[in-house]
Amino acid sequence: MEVYGVSLRGKNKEYFKEVLTVASHFSRLQEMNYVINTLPLTDQTAHFFDGRIFHHLTDAGFINVGRGASVDDHALIQALNQGQISFAVLDVFNHEPLPEDHPFWHHPDVHITPHISAVTTPEEGAACYVETLKRIEGNRVLQNKVDFKRGY
């Protein structure tokens, strides 16, 4: 499988055949069989996945394990109905819990998962906590820091 990424800088990373910038990724979308959203929610990513992106796809699978508000629900439904998206696996939504009358519940090509795309085991959580505490007490640089200017 060839894996492509999209980022603000387009800096290549291990395991990716190519990393495109947000501005240049449209040129490659028509080649994609699957699109996987792992975006954080920022001003720049709100409704990032909209009709402009879906328009470039043909029969692609769409998986959202990023943030729900990074997807325009109406545009996704249209893309599913028009065959631009062949199926969608959705773990997160604009409004949670997903309202009972939302069209995602009844669409035959939408698969809903219970917001568990990144399960953290108790052991992983405890190990992260202990490592963070050791770094704080040792006055060492913390891992997994949030950059408030970037929004993630």
pLDDT tens per residue across span 46-70: 999 999 999 999 999 999 999 999 9
What does pTM read for this prediction? Answer: 0.86
Residue-wise pLDDT for 81-128, tens only, equals 999 999 999 999 999 999 999 999 999 999 999 988 878 899 999 999
List the catalytic residues. 67, 115
Q: Spell out the residues 6+ positions from residue 137 whose beta carbon is closer than 8 angstroms to its own.
A: none
Mean pLDDT, rounded, for 130-136: 96
- Give the gyration radius of the chain's Cα atoms: 18
